[in-house]
Amino acid sequence: MTRPARRVAVIGGGPGGLYAAVLLKRLAPARDITVFERNGPEETFGFGVVLSDETLGGIEHADPAVYTALGAEFVHWDDIDITHRGRTLTSGGHGFSALGRRQLLAVLHDRCRTLGVRLRFRTEAPPAALLAADYDLVIAADGVHSTTRTAHAEAFRPRITRHGCRYIWLAAGFALDSFRFEIAETPHGIAQLHAYPYAGDASTVIVEMREEVWRAAGLDRLDEAASAAHCAALFPHTLDGRPLRGNDSQWTAFRTVVNERWSHGNTVLIGDAAHTAHFSIGSGTKLAVEDALALAACLEEHPDVPSALAAYEAERRPVVRSTQRAARASLEWFEDLAVYADQPPYQFAFNLLTRSRRVTHDNLRLRDPGFVSGVERAAGVPEGTPPMFTPFRLGPLTLRNRVVVSAMDMYSAEDGLPGDFHLVHLGARALGGAGLVMTEMVCVSPEGRITPGCTGLWNSRQQDGWRRITDFVHTRSPDTAIGIQLGHSGRKGSTRLMWEGMDDPLPDGNWPLVAPSPLPYRPGISQLPKELERHELAALRRQFTDAARRAATAGFDLLELHCAHGYLLSGFLSPLTNLRTDAYGGDLDGRLRFPLEVLDAVREIWPDDRPLTVRISATDWAEGGMTGEDAVAVARALTVHGADAVDVSTGQVVSDEQPEYGRSFQTPYADRIRNSAGIPVVAVGALSSWDDVNSLILAGRADLCALGRPHLYDPHWTLHAAADQGYQGPGAPWPQPYRAGSRKPPAGRTDAPRPRLTLGR
């Protein structure tokens, strides 16, 4: 077989570049491979490198010689110790392996020499463009400050984000017996230590703190030795007075690197040149090594370099994107560490361990059931009860569990009237076990509908239709609460049904739209709304209060005011959609004025024995729009004006938004509001598993979790979550007619004899 890339140049002699050279040479010994490294063979930054069992398995399969050599150098440990306010809690079963970075490089240097890879140390690589003319393939493994990426920025289109903490890599002259996190509350703010062993007599120690804390402590004026001495004094439980040392160590700010493309002609980026992920999830070397594995495999499997590079990027990009999401969540957790400092010890430790959303309640319980039991006991969770099935008091209403069926538009009404479909839809979900079932957005006027299929509550006939549904829920599933979400479409109204073209204007029969400012939702496509005049706002307030009175009469247990997703009240909140210069625009106080007036009016007439919540978009996912900090301020104002909780969603405010999608991608905004402002929150956004719900509740990131699509897939999602966890308590009672189905049916034959003996020959 003729393999592509007979002549290969590697720019950068870090682990990713060296390992790529090893694999490519091993797969095709005739290849001519040169590695250019500006430093000497003994010169490197940092100290220890952590590799996962998954990565080691890939190395073992691809090159047993490297795997065996690394195995002789590794130190292994299972525990993570978390020290905060003088107390240390330990979680076991995590399975880490680490070695010195110098040892890793030495193993790869030896393997390169054995295979015949040309190593050119203390040699600045020629520019990638020149190498690309002489070599079949150029692998740019030149790190986070990649000169290759910079030289060809128009092709790779990098985005580099600088974050808000400073950190420094140091080392201690003794071996820890666990991964250590220690939190130091200093006069200047919080500092944190991340530390782990990498040899029998040495440990890596990373010290990190927010930039303002770093400056206030005067660390911006200290040299390496003074910085090491300062840091050593901060963490007595881990270091016990022992010194730290540097290795040309400097305080730096982490930068997340994202490239729109990873290849340009026959030049390809790997490792930190292509992408970075915060060190708190230990992924930099891991990603670089895995890049090398994938690149070598794709070059082996494809007939030419262009197709191989395309396959490499297609394979690796989703994996890297997922890792970067997890790393971003971890990074932001540590940036916001101060908001969690007052959590009880066990909750704080659990929150830290699950911060990236990759470690969850369920897999942490598999690793260390004793630790998780301790967390649950400390949180008051009854033995044998998953956290999601603990009750929650929402204002005057006690919900039997923490699961909410999220509000989802069904577009199945006629003239705003809820019919048989809505009875079956909401009734089925009420029978399905959730603590609270929400209606779709119910519109307060005909002109406030999104589509002709939206439900409303502007007349008594609609009120009677909703009463039929609440009566069913209260009669057939009396432990389930049912809530109504009231809203007005604003500039996003008069559109087709979702499946006929979401946000597309109606072909005919349009009604006029109103908004805070005359801005169409989709310029050139959407209808231009009329800017509301001040005298028209009073009529809108009356529409909301009239609908709220009907909702109370219709028997709803909870009312939610929809101030999210770019609808009318959300349009007032966002600076991208509210350009007014009167008292209802301008700064955040001005933009909040009308939503708060509506909330005040609704709160005044809504019964005191029923809670009132507000849904917000915590970020617009667009430059110049609402931010997480704004959302905290908005949430505080809403609760001052009578909201019992804030339902925290994001986006859908402007059509050119750029959301960062991913599992649980909206929950950090709920987390920030809950822990910064002490406000009860409902978390939403790509929650799909009961494990996610348990994790969020136990970590104190949310009080309730709203799930939409999972309840469309399975109306009995909550009951099935209880069955999957072996739970049969009061948090998820099966309706009497369904109890015969409360255990999962057998999936196949189970009476076959188990193998008991293995007989030799």
* Catalytic residue ranges: 567
Q: Where are the beta strands (DSSP E) in 427-476?
A: 436-443
Largest Cα span, the chain: 94
Using an 8 Å Cβ cutoff, are 514 and 490 in contact?
Answer: yes
Whole-angstrom distance, CA of residue 687 vs CA of residue 679: 21
Count of alpha carbons within 13 angstroms of residue 44, beta-carbon side: 17
SS (HEC) of 686-715: CCCCHHHHHHHHHHCCCCEEEECHHHHHCC
Coil, helix or strand at residue 441: strand
Using an 8 Å Cβ cutoff, are 161 and 141 in contact?
Answer: no
Nearest to 179 by CA among 263, 260, 91: 91
Q: Euclidean distance between the first and final Cα of the chain, in Å?
A: 41
Distance (Å) of CA 581 to CA 227, 498, 585: 50, 34, 5
Whole-angstrom distance, CA of residue 407 vs CA of residue 450: 14
Residue type, 743: R
733 token code pair: 């009672």
Dihedral sign for Cα atoms in the order 228, 233, 234, 238:
positive
| DSSP assigned state of 461 | H
SS (HEC) of 472-537: HHHHHCCCCEEEEEEECCHHHCCECCHHHHCCCECCCCCCCCEECCCCCCCCCCCCCCEECCHHHH
Q: Is 25 exposed, middle or buried (0-12, 13-18, 19+ CB in 10 A)?
A: buried
Dihedral sign for Cα atoms in the order 58, 64, 70, 76:
positive
Whole-angstrom distance, CA of residue 444 vs CA of residue 733: 35
SS (HEC) of 278-340: CHHHCCHHHHHHHHHHHHHHHHHHCCCHHHHHHHHHHHHHHHHHHHHHHHHHHHHHHHCHHHH
Coil, helix or strand at residue 753: coil
Whole-angstrom distance, CA of residue 661 vs CA of residue 29: 43
Nearest to 683 by CA among 670, 692, 699, 696: 670
In degrees, rounded to 5, the angle at the alpha carbon of residue 19 between the alpha carbons of residues 18 and 24 is 100
725 Cα distance to chain centroid = 24
Whole-angstrom distance, CA of residue 238 vs CA of residue 176: 8
